[in-house]
Structure 1
Amino acid sequence: MWTGVIPAVTTKFKPDGSLDHAEMERCFSVQMEAGCEGIIVCGSLGEGPMLSHDERIAVLQRAQSVTKGKPTLLTVAEAGTREACELAAKAAKAGASGLMVVPSPIYHTDPAETVETLRAVAAAGDLPVMIYSNRVAYRVDVTPEIMEELAADPRFVAIKESSDDIRRTTEIINRLGDRYAVLTGVDNLALEALAVGACGWVAGLVCAFPAETVAIYRLMQAGRLKEALAIYRWFRPLLDLDVSTYLVQNIKLAEALAINSTEHVRGPRKPLSGARREAVEAIVRKAIETRPALPAAA
């Protein structure tokens, strides 16, 4: 359940801002057909904080209709622990496979508060939990020491490692062995993380380029580093678009160009424009024009 490429998908909207279920179903299906091992909805890339709880459950259910039994996770990233617990319980009732949980993105918890919050949300949902450790975006570092403190609770099963320090993957494995499934969550550190023991990739640019993302993962698992590295080097300018304040707009533009999807976002975001749009579009178009042939066995 906690291996392979698991897209953190974008949420699709109609021009009036309502959920576009048909386009989500189409785009989610593209991911599954490429060989992805599940879907995570309503994270940062999925504009979760801009959605009501009911909308998030609706997106979860749309993904479930496509994943056909493969893991479908809902992201819990609420300002308050009470609201996080409420959402976790709703996700469980809706049949989510698990949760990806972020400590409060508004109040930056200290280690004791982080542990208490994560335990409360896990208990409320009573589902398998992937801990999202992203000190860069959320300013809370879920450290290996915190992971060790939580290890006695079997509901904590995986880590989305997004500390932006490639050494962290090895530190987790050295300290905790195989207690947690460690998945890389930084697109432009993915190959490096897979090389040192990450067993999965929670990916963003996969939304626009699923075949290439899955190929890199499978080649790395097969020990075919040279072939994986060639694709990764081509992919790198695209992967850098995930590490940006504008990651949602960047990736939605990439989806529009690569898989003919839409760019509608929820305010206060606006689609890219001007020089920023031109720069991102140039990167995506060049990638499409120079797309590498993928190894047959990947």
Structure 2
Amino acid sequence: MWQGVFPAVTTKFNADGSLDAAEMQRCFALQMAAGCDGLIACGSLGEGPMLSHDERLQVFRLAKEVAGSKPALLTVAEAGTREACALAEKAARAGADGLMVVPSTIYHTDVRETAINLRAIAAAADLPVMIYSNRIAYRVDVTTDLLEELADDRRFVAVKESSDDIRRSTEILTRLGDRYAVFTGVDNLAFEALCAGVQGWVAGLVVAFPAETVAVYRLVKAGRLAEALAIYRWFRPLLDLDVSSYLVQNIKLAEALAIQSNERVRAPRLPLAGERRAQVEAVIHKALATRPTLPVL
């Protein structure tokens, strides 16, 4: 279960701001058809913090339905431990195969607080947990030392490593072996992380370019590095769009142009405009015009 390409899917909205279930089902199905290995609902890219608990559960249930026998995870990213535990319990009742858990997004916990917070959420759901470590975006660093401390709880099974330092993945694998499945969470470090031995990729641009993402992953795992690198070098300008405070708007614009979806976002976000939009469109149009022929996998 804990390996492969897991798209951090986007949440689709109707013009009135309500959830667009039909479009989400279509987009999620494209991920599965391309060979992705699971789905993660309502993360940062999925605008989870902008959704009510009920809306997040609706999105998750759609993901679960489309994923079929493959795992579907719900992201838990709450300011308070109480609220996080409540959502975790609801996810368990809704049939989640696991959770991706972000430490407190408002108060930046210290090491002791982070450990207690994560343990409480894991206990509330009693589900497998992927710990989301992103010291840049969320200012809470789940270090290798802390992962070692948490290793006594078997519910912690994986880590989404987004420190932006490729050395961290190697450090986790060297010290802790196969205790955790390590997933890269930074699109434009994916090739490097996969070559370092990580088991999975929580991907963003995959939602617009699923076949290319799966190809990079599978080629690296097959040892066909030159073929993977050729695709990755084409892919890099697109993957850079994930490493931005505008990642949601960037990637939804890529979806609109590549898979004919829509780019509606929930306020206070707004779709890209002006010079920023023109720059992102140029990157996407160039990539579409030079799209590589993928090798047989």
Please indicate, yes or no, whether the TM-score normalized by the shorter chain is above 0.5.
Answer: yes
**Structure 2 residue aligned with 1:213:** 213
Instruction: Indicate the SS of the match to 1:135.
Output: coil
- Tell me whether 1:264 sits opposite 2:264 in the alignment: yes
User: In structure 2, what is the Cα distance between the partners aligned to 1:69 and 1:95?
Assistant: 12
Q: How does 1:41-190 map onto structure 2 within 5 Å?
A: 41-190=41-190
Q: Match for 2:136: what amino acid?
A: V
For residues 176 and 222 of structure 1, the distance between their equivalents in structure 2, rounded to whole angstroms, comes to: 24
| Residue in structure 1 matched with residue 288 of structure 2 by the alignment | 288
Q: What is the aligned partner in structure 1 of residue 12 from structure 2?
A: 12
Counterpart CA distance in 2 for 1:17 and 1:150 is 40
Q: CA deviation at 1:124?
A: 0.3
Partner letter of residue 284 of structure 1?
A: I
Could you tell me which residue of structure 1 aligns to residue 249 of structure 2?
Answer: 249
Aligned residue pairs total 297
Partners in 1 of 2:211 and 2:98 — Cα distance?
A: 25
1: distance between equivalents of 2:249 and 2:11? Answer: 11
- Can you give the 5+ residue segments of structure 2 that lack an aligned partner in the other structure? none
Counterpart amino acid of 2:261?
S
Aligned to 2:30: 30
Q: Deviations over 1:80-118 (max 9, x none)?
A: 000000000000000000000000010000000000000
Deviation at 1:237, TM superposition (A): 0.1
TM-score (norm 2): 1.00
Residue 39 of structure 2 corresponds to which residue in structure 1?
A: 39
Q: Which amino acid aligns with 1:296?
A: V
Kindly provide the amino acid, as one letter, of the partner of residue 78 in structure 1.
Answer: E
- Partners of 2:65 and 2:177 in 1: CA distance: 35
Counterpart AA for 1:175: R
Amino acid at match of 1:60: F
1:183 positional shift: 0.4
**Secondary structure at the residue paired with 2:227?**
helix
Distance across 2 between alignment mates of 1:268 and 1:96: 29
Query: CA offset at residue 194 of structure 1?
Result: 0.2
State the match for 1:229 in structure 2.
Answer: 229
Runs (4 or more) in structure 1 with deviation over 2 Å come to none
For 1:145 and 1:5, the matched residues in 2 are separated by 26
- What is the rounded CA distance, in whole Å, between the counterparts of 2:269 and 2:2 in structure 1? 32
TM norm structure 1: 0.99
Structure 1 residue 166, shift from structure 2 partner:
0.3
Q: Deviations over 1:173-225 (max 9, x none)?
A: 11101000000000000000000110110000000000000000000000010
Distance 2:241 2:92 in 1: 33
Supply the distance in 2 between the matched residues of 1:158 and 1:200 (Cα, whole angstroms): 10
**SS in structure 2 at match of 1:40:** strand
Cα deviation for residue 129 of structure 1 reads: 0.0
**Partner secondary structure for residue 83 of structure 2:** helix
Residue equivalent to 1:201: 201
Aligned-partner SS, 1:137: coil
Q: Deviations over 1:120-171 (max 9, x none)?
A: 0000010000000000000000000000000010000000000000000010
**Aligned mates of 1:269, 1:244 — CA distance in 2:** 14
Tell me, which stretches of 5 or more residues in structure 1 are unaligned? none
Q: Residue by residue, what CA displacement relative to the aligned partner does 1:214-256 show, whole Å, maximum 9, x if unpaired?
A: 0000000000100000000000000000000000000000000
Aligned partners of 1:123, 1:65: CA distance in 2, in Å? Answer: 25
Amino acid at match of 2:200: G
